[in-house]
């Protein structure tokens, strides 16, 4: 049974959705049809055989087309007999290519969404990076300030160490001065004790002298009484020698 060409009869079954045109082809360099379908080998069954068939049918193209240009149109619209050995599916080439193109477009859309998500993440990272750079700049300023403070503290520490060394050198001198002062203090203490003893001795002597003076003052009354009695006795008794009278008076 001959194969019925449904390419003309399936107009009512054509898809009505508008497909986006191919982009980027204008920037690509022109190559032969055999080179152009290299990347389609994994997508279209036995694409090299189909290229050969399309090229064979386009030996004398019309409308000033080249053989590769005419063969490309044939390759895109060619339909194969399902029993043809080069046909791997019942669908014609254009449907296979259209299906693959839709898959590629869907993959592109998915990649675009993923790319947009990644771009959003990149933007967030850039924003965070700017904040980190600003913080790092602040940290650098803080580090510089801390370094200056550290140098200042080191200088002050060196000055303090020099003062400590100087004071350490002065300590023996002060110790000697302290020992000398202690010795002078002990000597003065001994002298003060000696002076206290002498003062106490003088006080004792003064007290004894005062007692002696008091004692000498008390017997003077009795001595005058005895003198009067001696005069009375002398008037009644025989004459007493002058020497004896003088001795009695002294007593």
- The two most distant CA atoms of the chain are separated, in Å, by 219
Instruction: Classify residue 83: in a domain, yes or no.
Output: yes
Are 33 and 72 within 8 A, CB to CB?
yes
Instruction: Classify residue 173: in a domain, yes or no.
Output: no
Predicted local distance difference test score (pLDDT) of residue 42: 80
> How far, in Å, CA of 98 to CA of 40, rounded?
12
Q: Which of 123, 155, 184 is the last residue of a domain?
A: 123
Instruction: Classify residue 175: in a domain, yes or no.
Output: no
Closest CA to 101 of 19, 12, 18, 33: 19
pLDDT digits (tens, 9 = 90+) for 134-168: 888 788 888 888 999 999 999 999 998 888 888 88
SS3 108: helix
Domain that holds residue 231: 221-251
Most confident of 23-32, 34-43, 83-92, 113-122: 113-122
Are 230 and 249 within 8 A, CB to CB?
yes
Instruction: Classify residue 247: in a domain, yes or no.
Output: yes
> How far, in Å, CA of 230 to CA of 237, rounded?
10
Which residues, 6+ apart, have CB-to-CB distance to 135 below 8 Å?
none
Instruction: Classify residue 150: in a domain, yes or no.
Output: no
Question: How many residues are listed for the chain in this entry?
Answer: 251
> How far, in Å, CA of 116 to CA of 109, rounded?
10
Cβ neighbour number for residue 74 with a 10 Å cutoff: 20
The structural domain count of the chain equals 2
pLDDT of 178 > 60? The answer is: yes
Q: Which of 54, 88, 123 is the last residue of a domain?
A: 123
- pLDDT tier, 94 (very low <50, low <70, confident <90, very high otherwise): low
> How far, in Å, CA of 87 to CA of 53, rounded?
12
pLDDT of 131 > 50? The answer is: yes
Give ∠ CA 166-172-173 in degrees, rounded to 5: 85
pLDDT digits (tens, 9 = 90+) for 182-217: 999 999 999 999 999 999 999 999 999 989 898 888
Q: Both ends of the chain: CA-CA distance in Å?
A: 198
pTM exceeds 0.75, yes or no: no
Give the residue, 43 or 191, on which the prediction is more confident.
Answer: 191
Instruction: Classify residue 38: in a domain, yes or no.
Output: yes
pLDDT digits (tens, 9 = 90+) for 223-247: 555 555 554 444 444 444 444 444 4
Backbone Cα Rg of the chain: 72
Cβ neighbour number for residue 92 with a 10 Å cutoff: 19
Tell me 151's DSSP state: H
List, as one string, the DSSP characters of 63-106: TT--HHHHHHHHHHH----TTSTT--SSS-HHHHHHHHHHHHHH
Closest CA to 50 of 91, 93, 14: 93
- For the ranges 42-51, 83-92, 205-214, the lowest mean pLDDT is seen at 83-92
Instruction: Classify residue 4: in a domain, yes or no.
Output: no
> How far, in Å, CA of 63 to CA of 74, rounded?
14
Instruction: Classify residue 76: in a domain, yes or no.
Output: yes
Average pLDDT, the chain: 77
Q: Which of 103, 123, 143 is the last residue of a domain?
A: 123
């Amino acid at each position: 049974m001959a194969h019925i060409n449904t390419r003309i009869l399936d107009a009512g079954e054509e898809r009505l959705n508008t497909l986006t045109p191919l982009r980027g082809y204008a920037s690509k360099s022109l190559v032969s049809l055999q080179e152009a379908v290299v990347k389609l080998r994994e997508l279209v069954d036995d694409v090299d055989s189909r290229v050969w068939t399309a090229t064979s049918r386009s030996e004398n193209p019309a409308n000033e087309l080249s053989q590769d240009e005419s063969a490309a149109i044939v390759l895109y619209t060619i339909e194969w007999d399902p029993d043809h050995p080069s046909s791997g599916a019942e669908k014609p080439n254009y449907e296979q290519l259209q299906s693959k193109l839709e898959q590629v477009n869907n993959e592109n859309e998915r990649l675009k969404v993923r790319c947009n998500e990644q771009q959003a993440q990149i933007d967030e990272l850039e924003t965070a990076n700017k904040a980190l750079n600003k913080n790092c700049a602040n940290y650098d300023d803080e580090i510089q300030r801390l370094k200056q403070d550290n140098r200042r503290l080191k200088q002050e520490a060196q000055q303090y160490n020099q003062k400590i060394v100087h004071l350490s050198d002065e300590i023996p001198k002060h110790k000697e001065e302290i020992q000398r002062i202690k010795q002078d203090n002990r000597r003065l203490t001994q002298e003060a004790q000696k002076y206290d003893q002498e003062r106490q001795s003088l006080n004792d002597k003064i007290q004894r002298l005062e007692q002696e003076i008091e004692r000498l003052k008390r017997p003077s009354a009795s001595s005058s009484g005895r003198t009067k009695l001696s005069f009375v006795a002398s008037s009644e008794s025989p004459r007493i020698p002058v020497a004896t009278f003088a001795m009695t008076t002294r007593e």
